[in-house]
């Protein structure tokens, strides 16, 4: 059987988090009444003209700097001409030949912790289209142009990915960069980040690329993986059955978990790109770019390196904790409060992530704040609570049954008992209550006693409702029993 | 009243000789009497004009009148005017009541002017004769069998006929200067970017520029001052102070260096036009100017370059007329493609379709480099011709059009119509300013002298034109219209 | 470059203008002559000449990112041919 290799390139559209649109002063807020945020410019009324939004430019440049891309001095807007009801002017203002961001690269982390560099061909600015609503409006389609003119950064990768998992890792890396930079909310459910995938297959070892299909509408991490896996499979089967892959656009149907060919148009599209005569060349001077560079926050790759080198975390922990801006910020806040990176990492990845996963929440939706968690970890570290009791405190915080770890520890009497007098009293009571076990212990071989002591530890811990320090209990018990 | 210039009318209003309402009523009466024949207006906004005139009179009474307060004007129907039908001469926009004002319209309202109405034009400003209007052709007031020129033919005819003292036009390839020349008035195309394009319905965005059309250079100077200036809503408008253009009038022309482009005096130039232009140049010599011949070697490539660039931009600019958000929509579209194709087939006239098709074709795959890119390279060479010429001379002079106004219906063939614009079109490609002033008559048909200057040389051009009008009275000639009816 | 009937039909389709066969034939002739005129450009030596998109060598001014527009939907939809519930209506679009 022939071995196949999948080749994937992604085009990611990121809505930039500007207040106003790319070419007009209308709001970009999501979810407004239809057409209430479509101004004269967005509607393409006769006579209107575009003026470029500075924030959109700054955000695009920041992205470029974040992927170590070349930022060309001059970029130019072109018109992409086609008719569609959600495209008010009959053209989309985009950048075809002189994009604002030149070639760059992104490092992705795979599940086994290894990394790979994915090259980015370029990223360009363009305007979003409106939305067609296909529900029944007197048997017609309704057009809402609120989204028309929202700034988009289209990020075009090289065909450097070789599996669906790599594509997902790439998409996650882009997501992390744009959210770290604060240039997009990255909300895929609201369409702030959308993805088209170019997929082809070739026999392993072959240089030449196979014919690719473009899959539209893969707008979640999960869909990207499923759509690419399906499409690669489809192409391999097709070729193995003696067929040929045709270059076409296919639509991913998440309900049926398949891609299908979009209706082929009678004539191929011819977008007739030409430079937009209403906009002038965008010229970025070095001082402006340097200023943006100096304002860049620490990005995922830098953070990961710092977590490893300065905080001493493992490569795996550093990768997980830097994977999103929200995660990294949470972790760093916990670390700040408790003063120990390793402990903070264990709690964020252990108890917290477990609870979040169970309830399918993002870290930014965690009911336990970083400060609360940090204080709890600090109480474990200073032996105020045992690890076991700490889990109870965490559960209480999670359920909103107290405002802080200390309050819950106090209210529930979970403070770890380290007073040896109090522990000795409990031990004496347990020994007095367990004559049979004490006799067995005394008669046993010294090497078997170690195992038998567990019973007494359990009884003492039970008596202390988990608050006694287990190491202390262990040592005191051994001493007492051996000297009876 | 209808014979006076803006300057004279302003003085009369200030002196209280008559009110703005009386002036407005008088002109509306004249429009009513004469425009049935001329067809220079698409929409007459009588009610609004009288209300604006009353407001102007009240402002004057309170001592709050500015220099332009109460002066009547007309606007080419390409300027968006809130609450008023704005058709661009097209069936496509026959039902379009603009929901907003163009920047220049805002400025003129702010200055207190009174808009009498919207003037006729070639559909979407595509034409050189005003015969391409959905609202029918405009007649030349000097000779009702002649065209008034285009595309701002309505504005030119209305001013020439004394229906309004001044009007705004737009000029993409000569559309102010050529009709000004055909109708014996003064028309200025400013430097590209001098006047905001916001709210002016686009034909070819990198060429379009609005400007004044009036009886004298002095009036044009006044009006340009009111409409020029940087506009934050137009990326291509230039951030540069607006001089007081009237203050520049009066400078001596002694030592002025005039260049005559030899390519503007070649084959196809009507001898009457040539004689008038040469005579005008002699007047300038008598005013102290020196004259030399210069060359603009790429002149003959201007028309082909223009007819690639302008239709390409137009094909894209006119895609927004799709029957969805405004304008004409065909009846009972059976599907989306039918909605588009029938709406646009019905809404656009023949010349507009011709240019959309040309532009679409030249931008399409496989043709872009040979046509569009090539035309833009030639455009740079054409601009360089002018830059080089202005190294040696202060201004260039020549005819605005190779012939006086031609007969209505005379030019059936689009290419022969396009060739009419040989002396005006390169100016738009280069983006420099140009003015056409009356300089003679061929029988009853006026002849225009065109004066061209470097970027932002409007003050000099207006003064040079003004000095000619101080020395001659071609600009005072009036067509013999059926005055007894007025 | 000569122009075929199919070129005109293709341009008409791209431009979404319904064109009967007779009309198309008429345009083949017109457009052919206009293109023949445009073809004169091929004779100009433009080696090393950069295309000129705008007459003035100015650069794009940037607008501050501020919301300056208010909701004028009803005002703007007064000139719309077909609206319902604030939406512009078009014949059903089949995806």
pLDDT tens, B305-342? 999 999 999 999 999 999 999 999 999 999 999 999 99
User: In b/e form, how buried is each residue of B116-132, taking b as 16+ CB within 10 angstroms?
Assistant: bbbbbbbbbbbbbbbbb
Q: What is the residue range of C21's domain? A: 5-43
Other beta carbons less than 10 A from residue C53's beta carbon: 18
Give residue A142's Cα distance to chain centre.
34
Please state, in angstroms and rounded to a whole number, the distance separating the CA atoms of residues A71 and A65. 8
Q: Give the percent of chain B with pLDDT over 90.
A: 95
Candidates C54, C65, C72; nearest CB to A19: C65
Q: CB–CB of C44 and B381 under 8 A?
A: yes
> Which phi and psi angles does A410 have, rounded to 5°?
-65, -50
Contact A274, B368 (CB under 8 A): yes
Tell me the residues of chain C between 10 and 39 that have a Cβ less than 8 Å away from chain B: 10-12, 14-19, 27, 30-31, 33-35, 37-39
Pick the catalytic residue: B40, B76, B98, B196? B76
For residue B110, the domain's CATH number is: 3.90.1300.10
Look at C31 and B360 and tell me if their CB atoms are within 8 Å. no
Residues of B with CB below 8 A from A89's CB? 319-320
Strand partners, C84: C87
> In this model, does residue B33 exceed pLDDT 70?
yes
pLDDT at C77 over 80: yes
B partners (3+ CB pairs within 8 A) are A, C
SS3 readout for chain B: CCCCCHHHHHHHHHHCCCCHHHHHHHHHHHHHHHHHHHCCEEEECHHHHHHHHHHHHHHHHCCCCCCCCCCEEEEECCECCCCCECCCCCHHHCCCECCCCCHHHHHHHHCCCEEEEEECCCHHHCCCCCCCCCCCCCCECCECCECCCCCCHHHHHHHHCCCCCEEEEEECCCCCHHHHHHHCCEEEECCCCCECCCCECCCCCCCCEEEEEECCHHHHHHHHHHHECCCCCCCCCCCCCCCCCCCCCCCCCCCCEEEEEHHHHCCCCCHHHHHHHHHHHHHHHHCCCEEEEECCCCHHHHHHHHHHHHHHHHHHHHHHCCCCCCCCCCCCCCCHHHHHHHHHHHHCCHHHHHHHHHHHHHHCCCCCHHHHHHHHHHHHHHHHHHHHHHHHCCEEEEECCCCCCCECCCCCCHHHHHHHHHHCHHHHHHCCCEEEEEEEEECCEEEEEEEECCCCCHHHHHHHHHHHHHHCCHHHCCCCCCHHHC
Question: Would you say residue C10 lies in a domain?
Answer: yes
Answer whether A277 sits within 8 Å of B206, measured CB to CB.
yes
> Taking CB atoms and an 8 Å limit, are A280 and C54 in contact across chains?
yes
Cα diameter, chain C: 58
Q: Give SS3 for C81.
A: coil
Per-residue pLDDT, A266: 43
Q: How far is B373 from chain C (nearest CA, A)?
A: 6
Residue A29 CA to residue A38 CA, distance in Å, equals 11
Q: According to the model, what pLDDT value does residue A419 have? A: 75
Closest-CA distance, A345 to chain B, in angstroms, reads 52
Asked if residues B89 and B71 have their Cβ atoms less than 8 Å apart, the reply is no
For residue A449, the model assigns a pLDDT of 80
Min Cα separation A91/chain B (Å): 7
Burial class (CB in 10 A: 0-12, 13-18, 19+), B252: exposed
Most distant CA atoms of chain A, gap in Å? 102
Give Rg (Cα) of chain A.
30
Closest to C34 in 3D by CA, of B71, A119, A354, B361: B361
Q: Which residues of B touch C76 (CB under 8 A)?
A: 99, 325
Residue C81 lies in a domain: no
Say if residue B272 is exposed, middle or buried (CB neighbours under 10 Å; 0-12, 13-18, 19+): middle
Within an 8 Å CB–CB cutoff, is residue A91 touching chain B? yes
Cβ atoms of residues B310 and B350 within 8 Å: no
B175 is annotated as an active-site residue: yes
- Give the residue on C whose Cα is nearest the Cα of B233: C63
Q: Strand, coil or helix: what is A52?
A: strand
In chain C, how many domains are there? Answer: 1
Residues 6+ apart with CB under 8 A from B464: B253, B256, B284, B395, B451
Q: Please tell me the distance from the alpha carbon of residue A51 to that of residue B171, in angstroms, as a whole number.
A: 23
User: Which residue on chain C is closest to A88 by alpha carbon?
Assistant: C88
Inter-residue contact A460 to A473 (CB < 8 Å): yes
Contacts of B230 in chain A (CB under 8 A): none
Contact C86 A34 (CB under 8 A): yes
- Minimum-distance CB partner of C18 among B192, B345, B413: B345
Series of mean pLDDT values for 10-residue runs along chain A (484 residues): 92 98 97 96 98 98 97 97 97 97 94 89 98 83 97 98 95 94 93 95 94 90 92 94 91 87 66 97 96 94 92 90 91 95 94 93 93 94 86 93 90 79 85 87 81 85 81 84 80
CB-based contact B406:B417 (threshold 8 Å): no
Q: Chain B contacts of C1, Cβ < 8 Å? A: 367, 370
Is B242 domain-assigned?
yes
Mutate to test the interface with A, among B324, B338, B369 (most CBs of A within 10 A): B324
Q: Residue A48: list chain B partners with CB under 8 A.
A: 198-199
List chains adjacent to chain A, taking adjacency as at least 3 C-beta pairs closer than 8 Å: B, C
Check CB contact under 8 Å for B202 and A47.
yes
Helix axes A164-181, A325-338, angle to 10 degrees: 60
pLDDT, chain B, mean: 97
**Beta carbons of B324 and C92 less than 8 Å apart:** no
- Phi, psi at residue A121, to the nearest 5°? -70, -50
Distances, alpha carbon B199 to alpha carbons A135, B172, C64, C83, in Å = 35, 15, 21, 24
Is residue B159, in this structure, part of any structural domain at all? yes
The tokens describing B292, both together, are 């030399």
Record: contact C85-A275, CB cut-off 8 A: no
C16 and B298 within 8 Å at the Cβ level: the answer is no
Domain that holds residue B179: 6-256+457-485
Instruction: Test C14 with A270 for CB contact under 8 angstroms.
Output: yes
- Chain C residues with beta carbon closer than 8 angstroms to that of A54: 62-65
Closest CA to A155 of A76, A64, A254: A64
Q: Catalytic: which of B20, B40, B151, B237?
A: B151
Within a domain: B211: yes
Residues of CATH 1.10.10.410 domain(s) within chain A?
420-482
Phi, psi of A360 (to 5 degrees): 55, 45
Global ipTM: 0.97
As a 3-state breakdown, chain C gives helix, strand, coil percent values, each rounded to 5, of 40, 10, 50
Contacts of C89 in chain A (CB under 8 A): 137-138, 140-143
Tokens of A229: 């896996």
Chain A within 8 Å of B123 (Cβ-Cβ)?
no
pLDDT value at residue B483: 57
- Contact check, Cβ <8 Å, A142/C91: no
- What CATH number has the domain bearing residue C12? 1.10.20
**pLDDT value, residue C79:** 95
Answer whether B372 sits within 8 Å of A44, measured CB to CB: no
pLDDT surpasses 90 at B92: yes
Contacts of residue B473, defined as CB under 8 A and 6 or more positions apart, other chains included, come to none
Is A121's Cβ below 8 Å from some Cβ in B?
A: no
Q: Is C18 inside any structural domain?
A: yes
- Across the interface, of C3, C17, C41, the residue whose CB is closest to B353 is C17
pLDDT at site B486: 40
Number of A/C CB contacts below 8 angstroms equals 127
Burial class (CB within 10 angstroms; exposed 0-12, middle 13-18, buried 19+) of A484: exposed
Torsion of CA B267, B272, B278, B281, to 10 degrees: -120
Q: Which residues contact A103 (CB under 8 A, 6 or more apart)?
A: A69, A70, A119, A120, A121, A122
- Nearest-Cα distance to chain A for B220, in Å, is 24
Judging contacts by C-beta atoms under 8 Å, the chain A residues touching residue B380 are none
Establish whether B252 is a catalytic residue. Answer: no
CB-based contact (8 Å) between B15 and chain C? no
Is the bond leading into B151 cis (omega within 30 degrees of zero)?
Answer: yes
* A475 interfacial to chain B (CB closer than 8 Å): no
C40 contacts on B by Cβ (under 8 Å): 300-301, 304
Q: Is the pLDDT of residue B484 over 60?
A: no
For chain C, list the contacting chains (3+ Cβ pairs, <8 Å): A, B
**C-alpha to C-alpha distance for A429 and B306, rounded to whole angstroms:** 106
B 57-116 residues with CB below 8 A of C?
A: 95-99
Residue B98 annotated among the catalytic residues of the structure: no
Residue B411 and residue B406: Cα distance in Å, rounded? 8
Is B206's CB within 8 Å of C81's CB?
Answer: no
Instruction: Count structural domains, chain B.
Output: 1
Tokens of B185: 């008035």
Asked whether the beta carbons of residue B341 and residue C10 sit closer than 8 angstroms, the reply is no
Q: What percent of chain B has pLDDT over 70?
A: 99
Query: What are the residues whose beta carbons fall under 8 Å from the beta carbon of B236, sequence distance 6 or more?
Result: A49, A277, A278, A280, B192, B193, B197, B205, B206, C54, C58
Cβ contact (<8 Å) for A272 and B232? no
Cβ neighbours of residue B427 closer than 8 Å, sequence gap 6 or more: B174, B177, B189, B433, B434, B452
Residues A317, A449: Cα–Cα separation, whole Å: 39
Any domain includes B447: no
> Can you say whether the dihedral through the CA atoms of C45, C50, C53, C57 is positive or negative?
negative
A-B contacts at Cβ under 8 angstroms: 99
**Residue B485 pLDDT:** 43
Nearest CA-CA partner of A456 in A439, A444, A473, A440: A473
Q: Flag whether residue C71 sits within 8 Å of chain A, measured between CB atoms.
A: yes
Q: Report how far Cα B257 is from the mean position of its chain's Cα atoms.
A: 27
Closest chain A residue to C66, measured at CA: A20
CA atoms of B13 and A367, how far apart (whole Å): 75
pLDDT value for A428: 87
State whether B235 and A83 contact (CB < 8 Å).
Answer: no
- Residue A268: per-residue pLDDT: 62
CB-based contacts of A457, cutoff 8 Å, min separation 6: A470, A473, A474, A477
| Topology adopted by domain A420-482 | Arc Repressor Mutant, subunit A (1.10.10)
Residue appearing with tokens 């690419």: A228
Phi, psi of B267 (to 5 degrees): -55, 145
């Amino acid at each position: 059987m022939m071995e196949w290799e999948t080749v994937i390139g992604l085009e990611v559209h990121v809505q930039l988090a500007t207040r106003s649109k790319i070419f007009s002063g209308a709001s970009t807020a999501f979810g407004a009444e239809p057409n209430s945020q479509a101004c004269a410019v967005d509607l393409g009324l006769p006579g209107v003209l575009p003026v470029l939004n500075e924030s959109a430019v700054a955000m695009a440049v920041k992205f470029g700097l974040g992927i170590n891309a070349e930022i060309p001095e001059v970029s130019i807007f072109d018109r992409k001409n086609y008719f569609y009801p959600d495209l008010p002017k009959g053209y989309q203002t985009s950048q075809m030949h002189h994009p604002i961001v030149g070639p760059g690269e992104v490092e992705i982390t795979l599940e086994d912790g290894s990394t790979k560099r994915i090259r980015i061909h370029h990223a360009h600015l363009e305007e979003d289209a409106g939305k067609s609503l296909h529900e029944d409006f007197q048997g017609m389609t309704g057009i809402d142009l609120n989204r028309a003119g929202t700034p988009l950064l289209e990020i075009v990768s090289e065909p450097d990915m070789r599996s669906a998992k790599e594509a997902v890792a790439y998409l996650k890396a882009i997501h992390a960069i744009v959210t770290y930079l604060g240039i997009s909310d990255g909300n895929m459910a609201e369409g702030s980040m959308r993805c088209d995938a170019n997929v082809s297959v070739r026999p392993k070892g072959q240089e030449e690329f196979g014919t690719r299909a473009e899959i539209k509408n893969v707008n979640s991490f999960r869909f990207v993986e499923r759509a690419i896996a399906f499409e690669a499979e489809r192409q391999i089967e097709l070729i193995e059955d003696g067929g040929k892959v045709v270059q076409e656009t296919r639509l991913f149907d998440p309900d049926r978990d398949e891609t299908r060919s979009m209706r082929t148009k009678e004539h191929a599209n011819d977008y007739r790109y030409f430079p937009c005569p209403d906009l002038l060349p965008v010229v970025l001077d070095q001082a402006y770019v340097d200023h943006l560079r100096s304002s860049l926050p620490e990005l995922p790759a830098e953070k990961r390196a710092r977590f490893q080198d300065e905080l001493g975390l493992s490569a795996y922990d550093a990768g997980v904790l830097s994977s999103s801006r929200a995660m990294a910020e949470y972790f760093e806040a916990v670390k700040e409060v408790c003063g120990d990176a390793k402990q903070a990492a264990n709690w964020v990845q252990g108890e917290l992530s477990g609870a979040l996963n169970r309830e399918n929440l993002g870290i930014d939706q965690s009911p336990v704040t970083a400060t609360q968690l940090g204080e709890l970890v600090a109480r474990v570290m200073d032996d105020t609570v045992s690890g076991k009791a700490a889990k109870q405190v965490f559960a209480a915080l999670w359920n909103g049954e107290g405002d802080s770890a200390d309050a819950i520890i106090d209210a529930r009497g979970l403070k770890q008992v380290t007073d040896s007098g109090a522990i000795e009293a409990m031990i004496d009571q347990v020994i007095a209550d367990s004559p049979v076990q004490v006799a067995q212990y005394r008669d046993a071989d010294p090497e078997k006693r170690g195992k038998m002591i567990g019973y007494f530890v359990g009884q003492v811990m039970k008596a202390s409702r988990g608050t006694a320090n287990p190491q202390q209990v262990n040592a005191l018990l051994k001493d007492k029993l051996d000297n009876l | 009243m209808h014979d006076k210039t803006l300057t004279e009318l302003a003085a009369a209003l200030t002196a209280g000789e008559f009110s703005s309402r009386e002036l407005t009523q008088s002109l509306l009466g004249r429009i009513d009497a004469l425009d049935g024949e001329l067809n220079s207006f698409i929409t007459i906004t009588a009610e609004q004009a009288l209300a604006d005139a009353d407001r102007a009179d009240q402002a004057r009474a309170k001592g709050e009148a500015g220099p332009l307060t109460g002066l009547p004007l007309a606007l080419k129907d390409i300027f968006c005017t809130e609450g008023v039908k704005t058709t661009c001469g097209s069936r496509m926009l026959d039902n379009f009541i603009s929901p907003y004002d163009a920047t220049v319209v805002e400025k003129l309202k702010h200055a207190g002017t009174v808009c009498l109405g919207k003037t006729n034009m070639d559909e979407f400003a595509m034409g050189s004769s005003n015969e391409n209007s959905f609202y029918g052709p405009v007649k030349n007031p000097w000779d009702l069998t002649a065209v008034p020129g285009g595309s701002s033919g309505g504005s030119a005819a209305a001013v020439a006929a004394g229906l309004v003292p001044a009007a705004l036009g737009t000029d993409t390839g000569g559309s102010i200067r050529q009709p000004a020349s055909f109708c014996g008035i003064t028309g200025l195309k400013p430097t590209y970017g001098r006047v905001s394009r916001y709210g002016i319905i686009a034909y070819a965005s990198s060429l379009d520029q609005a400007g004044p059309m009036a009886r004298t250079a002095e009036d044009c100077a006044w009006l340009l001052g009111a409409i020029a200036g940087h506009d934050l809503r137009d990326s291509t408008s230039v951030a540069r102070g607006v001089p007081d253009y009237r203050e520049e009038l009066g400078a001596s022309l002694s030592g002025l260096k005039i260049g005559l482009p030899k390519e503007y005096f070649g084959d196809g130039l009507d001898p009457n036009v040539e004689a008038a232009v040469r005579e005008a140049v002699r007047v300038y010599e008598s005013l102290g100017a020196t004259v030399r011949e210069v060359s603009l070697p790429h002149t003959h490539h201007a028309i082909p370059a223009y007819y690639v660039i302008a239709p390409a931009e137009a094909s894209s600019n006119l895609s927004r007329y799709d029957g969805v958000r405004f304008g004409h929509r065909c009846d009972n579209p059976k599907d989306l493609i039918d909605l588009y194709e029938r709406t646009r087939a019905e809404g656009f006239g023949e010349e507009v379709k011709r240019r959309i098709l040309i532009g679409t074709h030249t931008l399409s795959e496989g043709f872009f480099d040979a046509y569009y890119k090539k035309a833009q390279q030639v455009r740079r060479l054409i601009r360089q011709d002018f830059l080089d010429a202005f190294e040696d001379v202060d201004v260039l002079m020549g005819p605005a059009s190779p012939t006086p106004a031609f007969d209505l219906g005379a030019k059936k063939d689009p290419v022969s119509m396009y060739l009419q614009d040989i002396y005006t079109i390169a100016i738009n490609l280069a983006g420099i300013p140009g003015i056409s002033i009356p300089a003679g008559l061929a029988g009853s048909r006026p002849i225009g002298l065109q004066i061209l200057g470097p970027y932002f040389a409007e003050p000099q051009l207006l003064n040079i034109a003004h000095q000619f009008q101080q020395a001659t009275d071609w600009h005072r000639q009036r067509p013999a219209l059926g005055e007894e009816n007025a | 470059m000569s122009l075929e009937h199919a070129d005109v039909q293709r341009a008409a389709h791209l431009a979404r203008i319904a064109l009967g066969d007779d009309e198309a034939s008429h345009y083949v002739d017109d457009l052919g002559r206009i293109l023949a005129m445009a073809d004169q450009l091929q004779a100009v030596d433009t080696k090393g000449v950069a295309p000129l998109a705008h007459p003035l060598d100015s650069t794009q001014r940037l607008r501050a990112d501020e919301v300056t527009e208010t909701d004028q939907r009803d005002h703007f939809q007064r000139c719309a041919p077909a609206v319902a519930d604030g939406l512009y209506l078009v014949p059903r679009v089949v995806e």
